[in-house]
Structure 1
Amino acid sequence: MNNSGGLDMTSKESCINSCIQPVADFLSEMDKKLVKIWVDGQFLRYKAPKGVMTQEALKNLADRKEEIISYLQNEKPKNIFYDTIETVGECEYYPLSAAQQRMFILNQIDRDSTAYNLVQVLKIDGEFETNRFVEVINRLIERHDALRTSFEIVDGNPVQRIHPHIEFRLDYGEINGDMKDIDVEIGRFIRPYDLSRTPLFRFKLLKFNKSGSIPCYFLLQDMHHIISDGISEAVLVNEVNQLYAGVKLQPLKIQYKDYVAWHEKLLNSKHIQAQKLFWMEQLKGELPILNLSADYPRPSSFSFEGDSVNIRIDRELSDKLYNLAREKRVTLFTVLLSAYYVLL
């Protein structure tokens, strides 16, 4: 077994003959526990909830790796969700994912909207090496195709174009003494994007000078959702920290355009088409209109203005929700989303 949760094909002889439980039953048992197992080249990969993979389960997985790999390869049509993402060839432009298509259309409808701007503000204490940070961002731009991507319409279809190089500039400003000015600067910093022009992100460094104390910095980041999301932002922040500290990053095996091609293949598969037909049958005909009882009258025009309410769930209820998810073989997100649907 390697450090990334994979099993080396050459590491150990198979003990198929000594295994009593059929491999299909073993994998079904793992699936019920939300353990996902798939083949990746010469490795057997797995992803499991915390605490589910016991030493006994890991040993069983390692001892039966050749049998499991053979079974999964023969059952490939049923495991299309875990096909390896292959790289696509270099093209002038590439198709959009379903999520990108939605955001592109919404941008075409309202080009002045900032509803899909992802904004972060990081406070930095101590001295900040501006030139070093600019170098780090330029290395990230070179590393991630998405940071060099623009969007346009070709032959009536939205596409994404990946540029070999783009220009990046770090904006800079200073504030003296009043924290309220930070909020004003953040408000000015958030602006609409023209999706046909790169870059679809921006950074600004604010130096905050306060009498009698050491200056600190606020790093403002704004990125359009069409090239990023919450997970991507966490990855970028981590890579910025590593590169700034002088750590050498491993080359990326795939880019977002490769995922889009894989996902398009998945959507066109017989398995997904069968699911599509099922839901089209379930939802055919006239659908009821949802009228919620609200505290305030619905505005005449749609907007993204709103608020959020945070609640804390105790351990007992949390355990019950996780157990329900395992019992139904779904994620916790699906359980909570289902509860929301019931409320609606």
Structure 2
Amino acid sequence: LDFAKVEKAFKKIIDRHETLRTSFETKEDSIIQRIHKVEDLSFRVEEIVVDGEDEIDRRIGEFVEAFDLTKAPLLRVGIIKLEEERNILLFDMHHIISDGVSMSILTNEFVQAYEGKKDFDALSIQYKDYSVWQAQKKQSEEFMRQEEYWLNEFSGEIPVLNLPTDYPRGKVKSSEGSSISFTLDSDMTSRLRAAAQETGTTMYMMLLSNLNILLSKYSGQEDIVVGSPIAGRNHRDIESIIGMFVNTLAIRSAVKDEMTFKEYLELIKQKTLSAYDNQDYQFED
């Protein structure tokens, strides 16, 4: 691995994407984006030395640090050199300038820039253009319509999910938690896909329906809200931009005993499609 080429490739990508040259600061109670020139940034690829493979996980953990939002780039790159032809490339990037799709864009562009296969076409718009568009949209009739949809969905009392947990719910809300991963076997996956095809739904709708029913059975509640992220890239011009476009859709539905599963699945299909149609209205609002 050529360290100089790695650094050059990243500088090329940082130059291409204004988000990677953006810092954030407060001005008169408003948060503003400040875009810097690539030559004004002190960016370098850090070489991380490990004393044996037992140290790798610890060094990766240490590599992730808090960012100062007033200092660009909000991207950190490091390399752990293990052998002559075996290296680990580390990225640490603040969520304010990136999402899951951004990581894919960054990875693909890095490979192309490192191999020097082609020069990138100039981006037709940058993230600041999207920010302006988003701010302007708040004055539009379309935005008012979307606001009305979500206020309608969450009129009345908002349910709190009371699951029978091992410990009482904390008085102070915390976002601490952990993840549990599991894999559905190929037979179950095939059956779910067949059921989705038969009902004109998607795997997401199928799994969301099942999750809602499970939560309803555990809690004894009918009114269930599940939030899930949506990419928010519903225009071709922003498909290839590194940035934070993700929104959360809080999908609310009533799980009623008298409904068949197919009837409930159809309800979730309609709720989900309506949420997609109104995805520009931010969850924070």
Distance 1:135 1:142 in 2: 11
Larger radius of gyration: 1
Amino acid at match of 1:314: T
Q: Partner of 1:14 in structure 2? A: none
Residue 227 in 1 paired to residue 101 in 2?
Answer: no
Distance 1:194 1:202 in 2: 12
Structure 1 residue runs of 5 or longer lacking an equivalent are: 1-127
Secondary structure at the aligned position of 2:50 is classed as strand
Residue 182 in 1 paired to residue 56 in 2?
Answer: yes
Query: What is the count of residue pairs matched by the alignment?
Result: 208
TM-score by length of 1: 0.55
Q: Report the CA distance between 1:337 and its aligned residue.
A: 4.0
Q: 2:109 aligns with which of 227, 239, 246?
A: 239
Secondary structure at the aligned position of 1:175 is classed as coil
Q: Partner of 2:181 in structure 1? A: 309
Q: Partner of 1:279 in structure 2? A: 150
Q: Partner of 1:137 in structure 2? A: 10
Q: Partner of 1:255 in structure 2? A: 126
Distance 1:131 1:282 in 2: 54
Structure 2 residue runs of 5 or longer lacking an equivalent are: 216-223, 225-285
* Runs of 4+ residues over 6 Å off in structure 1: none
Matches within 5 A, 1:1-344: 128-165=1-38, 166-176=41-51, 178-209=52-83, 214=84, 216-248=86-118, 249-298=120-169, 302-312=174-184, 313-324=188-199, 326=200, 332-333=203-204, 336-337=207-208, 339-342=210-213, 343=215, 344=224
Secondary structure at the aligned position of 1:195 is classed as coil
Q: Report the CA distance between 1:341 and its aligned residue.
A: 4.3
Q: Partner of 1:25 in structure 2? A: none
Secondary structure at the aligned position of 2:162 is classed as coil
Cα distance change on mapping 1:261 and 1:291 into 2, 3 Å: same
Amino acid at match of 1:200: L
Q: Report the CA distance between 1:145 and its aligned residue.
A: 0.4
Secondary structure at the aligned position of 2:58 is classed as helix
Secondary structure at the aligned position of 2:161 is classed as coil
Amino acid at match of 1:134: E
TM-score by length of 2: 0.65
- Identical pairs, percent: 35
Deviations 1:233-253 (A, max 9, x none): 101110110111112222211
